[in-house]
Amino acid sequence: MEIQKLYDLDDIEFEDIAIGLVRLAKDVPAHEFFYKINQINGLTFSRKKDVIIHGAYYDYYFPRFEAYHKFTKTCFTFISNQSSESKQKKLQTELFTEEENIKFLLNNQVDVEYILHTSEQIPDFSVILLPENLVFPIQDYTLGSEEELYQIIQYYE
């Protein structure tokens, strides 16, 4: 007797995720940046458990900050694009490895400080007021299901 397949992974359509890319105009520490955001918004961003990526030679830690909007009941998450810490697991013995002690979540966007994600299907980042002269306008960016960051966001959601 054959077991019937409930679904075929090739037939499942994964929806893209819309995120916002946040670039700072000045070099500001994270605590100062979020202090200013919390001052001008009805939101209170706080540090949550870091996003952790396990590499072959290093474990990378990316700071994550979350807040909930009272009226829309939406969760907003800022994730640092650059790892703040890396812990070496084993010594590199190969000359040309792809892995270094600093990692970016978006390798093609190294000038981005934070990745902004929301729990909403269609994100509205205009709800968050950003400090003037400190942040460039948020750039919309779409992640496909084949990208590593897509999988990371799905895991931490």
What is the residue-level pLDDT of the chain in tens, covering all 157 positions?
Answer: 344 444 444 444 457 888 999 999 999 999 999 999 999 987 899 999 999 999 888 999 999 999 988 877 888 999 999 999 999 888 877 766 677 889 999 988 999 999 999 888 777 788 788 888 899 999 999 988 888 888 888 887 7
Q: What's the pLDDT at 14?
A: 57
- Spatial contact of 41 and 129, defined as CB atoms under 8 Å apart: yes
Give this prediction's pTM.
0.82
How many domains, the chain?
Answer: 1
In a domain, 7, yes or no: no
Cα-only R_g, the chain? 18
Note down the domain range covering 72.
Answer: 17-156
Q: What's the pLDDT at 22?
A: 95
- Spatial contact of 143 and 150, defined as CB atoms under 8 Å apart: yes
Q: Which of 84, 86, 78 is nearest to 156 (CA)?
A: 78
In a domain, 111, yes or no: yes
In a domain, 6, yes or no: no
Other Cβ atoms closer than 10 A to 48: 15
